[in-house]
Amino acid sequence: MNVGIVCYPTVGGSGIVATELAKALAQRGHEVRLISTEMPFRGPDFQVGLVFHPVQTPGYPLFREPQHLLSLANKIVQVSRGHHLDVIHAHYAIPHAAAAYLARQILANADGANVPRVITTLHGTDVTLIGSDSSYSETAAFCIDQSDGVTAVSERLRADTYQQLSVRADIRVIPNFLDCEIHRRSEDVALRARFTGDDDAVRLVIHVSNFRPVKRVEAVIDVFDRIRRRVPSKLLLVGDGPDLDRAGRRVRDLGLTGDVVQLGEQEQVVPLLSVADLFLLPSAQESFGLAALEAMACQVPVVASRVGGLPEVIDSGVTGYLHDPDDLDGMASSGVAVLTDPDRHRAVVAAGLTAVQQRFCANAIVPKYEAFYTEVLAREPVPAAR
């Protein structure tokens, strides 16, 4: 199949999932075209069957804002014409579903036959935060409905989409996934010693995110503060984003500078997760929580908020721990319990790893996307407007 995958290149789960899907589809013999403004974060090295098409958006003195939607739609049309795309798979509705819709209209009007089908994957904030904002809700709902197929990364996001947008499309749930060959614990003793100061008693707590407000990084620091009063520990902060400064301020205010290591944006998270003992994710919202899944795959127990799709990823008390977002004491208690009881730590880690291997590895999920493409291609296309 010829598949065009449209995604954001920036750090964020939707771009990572789209890129992993592109790599996996190419490995399985499909011709895949990755369409984005730049090579996505964790983008592929050279791989047969996978080509990157950058989107350029020229400025003009008259424009106060870049016309990205138009240049993206234009690029999709060109790639589709040049390479006979069967499917345009838009990851994150805004504005990718709109660009894909516009491209399909152009192709249908100009070329008639061989018009690719548009599939949109909803990732979370494209519905729950941005999509449902009254500045975008009408266009977001329209473009989602105009897709030939729609998927969501969790049951919760599917339900939220119907609740928050006037969408009628039949939404298929296909959960996120990992390349489980890559996401596996491989502990580097020297790296761990760098963070623990070679003190075996010190536990390593980690948080990986894009430091947006929805991640509640101050809550990460507050939970860590409660933990380190009871267990000697250090906190590794991995990532960058608008709230990194707030996190730094909170660290200073609480006098934790010596116990918190800021590692900035890191493309390779597996080595860091592999030395960690506990992952904190007290987000306000997570449609899925890919970061939690990555931690579980690397045998790190997760303490997270009971929000969005996280209960579909973490079975609280079995494969990790979920608490109400404001229950920072509860999160700290679960963290302390798992850090101070080696049997409990081993059991949670083993159950988490089994859950990942049974439900969330690429070999279980990528065929679901392939089957969905086939199903959508067999359906009547959404008629093009004239």
Q: Is 147 in the site for ligand GMT (CB under 6 A)?
A: no
Q: Is 301 in the site for ligand GMT (CB under 6 A)?
A: no
Q: Which helix (H) or strand (E) holds 189?
A: helix 189-196
Nearer to ligand GMT by Cβ, of 49 and 213: the residue is 213
Q: Which helix (H) or strand (E) holds 22?
A: helix 13-27
Q: Which helix (H) or strand (E) holds 150?
A: strand 149-152
Among 96, 123, 203, 216, binds ligand GMT (CB under 6 A): 123
Binding segment for ligand GMT (CB under 6 A), chosen from 165-173, 184-192, 208-216, 251-259, is 208-216
The β-bridge partners of 236 are 206, 261
Segment 92 to 111, residues that bind ligand GMT, using CB under 6 A: 92
Q: Is 89 in the site for ligand GMT (CB under 6 A)?
A: no
Q: How many residues does the chain have?
A: 386
Q: Is 149 in the site for ligand GMT (CB under 6 A)?
A: no
Distance between CA 231 and CA 326 in Å, rounded?
22
Minimum distance, C-beta of residue 308 to ligand GMT, in the bound complex (Å): 6
Minimum distance, C-beta of residue 212 to ligand GMT, in the bound complex (Å): 6
Distance between CA 137 and CA 143 in Å, rounded?
10
Q: Is 214 in the site for ligand GMT (CB under 6 A)?
A: yes
Whether omega for the bond prior to residue 95 falls within 30 degrees of 0, making it cis, is yes
Binding segment for ligand GMT (CB under 6 A), chosen from 120-128, 256-264, 317-325, 351-359, is 120-128
Minimum distance, C-beta of residue 273 to ligand GMT, in the bound complex (Å): 15
Q: Is 153 in the site for ligand GMT (CB under 6 A)?
A: yes
Among 5, 14, 120, 334, binds ligand GMT (CB under 6 A): 14
Q: Is 125 in the site for ligand GMT (CB under 6 A)?
A: yes
Q: Are 217 and 207 in contact, with CB atoms under 8 Å apart? A: yes
Burial of 183 (0-12, 13-18, 19+ CB in 10 A): buried
Q: Is 43 in the site for ligand GMT (CB under 6 A)?
A: no
- Angle, helices 328-340/217-228, rounded to nearest 10 degrees: 50
Q: Is 192 in the site for ligand GMT (CB under 6 A)?
A: no
Segment 158 to 177, residues that bind ligand GMT, using CB under 6 A: 176
The β-bridge partners of 2 are 31
Instruction: Look at phi and psi of residue 219 and say left if phi exceeds 0, alpha if psi is from -120 to 50, else beta.
Output: alpha
Residues engaged in binding ligand GMT (CB under 6 A): 12-14, 17, 92, 123-125, 153, 176, 210, 212, 214, 285-290, 308
